[in-house]
Amino acid sequence: MGQSIDRLHAARLELYRKKGAIHARAVSGRFNTWRWIMVWITQAVFYGGCWLEWDTNGTVRQAILFDIAHEKLYFFGLVLWPQDALLLALLLVFAAIALFLATALAGRVFCGFACPQTVYTAVFTWIEARVEGDHLARLRLDQAPASGRKLALKSVKHGLWLLLAVWTGITFVGYFTPVRELLPALLAGSAGPWEGFWLVFYSAFLYVQAGLAREAVCQHMCPYARFQGVMVDQATRNAGYDRQRGEPRHVRWQAGEQGSCIDCGICVQACPVGIDIRDGLQYPCINCGLCIDACDGVMNKTGEPVGLIRFMPAREASRQGAQASVLRRPRVVTYACLLLLVAATGGWMLHTRTPVRIDVLRDRGELYRESASGHIENTYTLKVANLDDVPRRFSLQVSGLPGLEIIGPEQVWLAPGSVVPLPVTVSVPADSEASGIRPVVFRIVAGYDPAASAQAASRFVLP
């Protein structure tokens, strides 16, 4: 029994193994260039998006704003309401399927080039390198005893990190509170409690995640790293080591059979998560391609062809079986078809979406009544919603029976984002040939655009 317990303890899965901070070696190459291009693109969109403005009929507002207080989402000329939650759900589904498709094609390539954790870790590491030096200088500084110089460098680094984290927190909150109102409120100390809470929380979260945790997030905290294995197959292109070409490893002056790998270890030094890609595919690998840039640089110096480490399918790395097509694979075709379906559905919903909605509630207190003029009348309550962000004039119409008409005003002005209950009386002549319960249709039409309309069916009761 004791031996079984010992074997169980020895075979337990080690979920976390503490080790020192990883100071990755800076390398240059095509993948590092693309990595920084993605950093610039994503951060230009994030930091600049909240400062864009949109003019709506003379009213200037923030172009992208999640107005939680008024339950609205502004995206340039589009205004979404809680009734449009399905569109937001489709957007999330689209993003998830796009991530699955990218994973099926190239593993964790999203993690390597566009994930916020990777992007901000790269920015924080760049700041660290400007303050403390290259990877060897940073390693020596970490191992050095406490001194005034070490304290000064660490203080400057963490101070710059905190400044970036706070500005990022302000930008994040600026998507929920208009940023041009938020900054003066922060400077005056009059910002609301929720703005203050999220500013502190997001700033601290970024500081810890990108400055302190770094690669531990990719290795141990990110659930995507754990379940990505179900989305890849033998044809997925991941960063891999050409073992047949590289082995046996050697130093250049050794005699005998030699592979292309000189066992310099620069590919390991350049890896931001600290793995050796020559040991095979590992779940912490984020497919950033920095090991490829590092190895290609060494191959150029030794006169060997580049590509010893490259993006390759698993079958190519192990030389097992014929290479499968990158695109003509069941999972890739399935993800692509689902992506097109979700995109088409969302596009159709946006195209057919109108800035007005109508619901009809029939008065249940009486079936019908006869007026003094000899007409049969039914009463309804119309709930009309103006989903635009400016006041609009709408016209009410009803159809379904000969001589059917609305008694009272047929024009209504609605404030932006308002839902107004309108009591409406509809009548037909008493000599109408129709009898019993007949279907009718209420229609509301925007005065500025007849195509912007909505309708709802109801019933008209006759004797």
DSSP SS3 for 401: coil
* pLDDT at residue 241, as a whole number: 92
* pLDDT at residue 220, as a whole number: 82
* pLDDT at residue 11, as a whole number: 42
DSSP SS3 for 78: strand
Q: Which of 161, 190, 186, 160 has its CA nearest to residue 174?
A: 186
* pLDDT at residue 41, as a whole number: 96
**Residue 385 CB neighbour total at 10 angstroms:** 19
State how far the Cα of 441 lies from the Cα of 456, in Å rounded to an integer: 6
Residue 391 tokens read as: 């006041």
* pLDDT at residue 177, as a whole number: 93
**pLDDT, tens digit, for every residue of 251-307?**
665 555 688 899 899 999 999 988 899 988 888 889 999 999 999 999 999 889 999
Q: Quick one: pLDDT band at residue 321, thresholds 50, 70, 90?
A: very low
Sequence-ordered strand ranges (E) for 187-267? 237-241
* pLDDT at residue 153, as a whole number: 95
**Is 188's pLDDT higher than 70?**
yes
**pLDDT, tens digit, for every residue of 115-147?**
999 999 999 999 999 999 999 999 999 899 999
Comparison of pLDDT for 46 and 320, the residue scoring more:
46
**Is 16's pLDDT higher than 70?**
no
Residue 212 tokens read as: 């302190």
User: Residues 101, 336: contact at Cβ < 8 Å?
Assistant: yes
Percent of the chain residues topping a pLDDT of 70: 91
Residue 122 tokens read as: 């790269």
Q: Provide CB contacts within 8 A for 211, sequence distance 6+.
A: 124, 158, 161, 165
Task: Show me where the domains of the chain are located.
Answer: 17-84+98-229, 234-330, 356-461
Class of domain 356-461 (CATH, top level): mainly beta
Burial class of residue 17, CB neighbours in 10 A (0-12, 13-18, 19+):
exposed
What's the rounded mean pLDDT across residues 416-428?
Answer: 85
Q: Provide CB contacts within 8 A for 192, sequence distance 6+.
A: 177, 185
Q: What are all long-range contacts of 156-164, with beta carbons under 8 Å and residues at least 24 apart? A: 156/131, 157/127, 157/128, 157/131, 157/132, 158/211, 160/127, 160/131, 161/124, 161/127, 161/207, 161/210, 161/211, 162/203, 162/207, 164/123, 164/124, 164/127, 164/206
Residues in the chain: 463
What's the rounded mean pLDDT across residues 16-33?
Answer: 81
Comparison of pLDDT for 44 and 13, the residue scoring more:
44
State how far the Cα of 445 lies from the Cα of 356, in Å rounded to an integer: 8
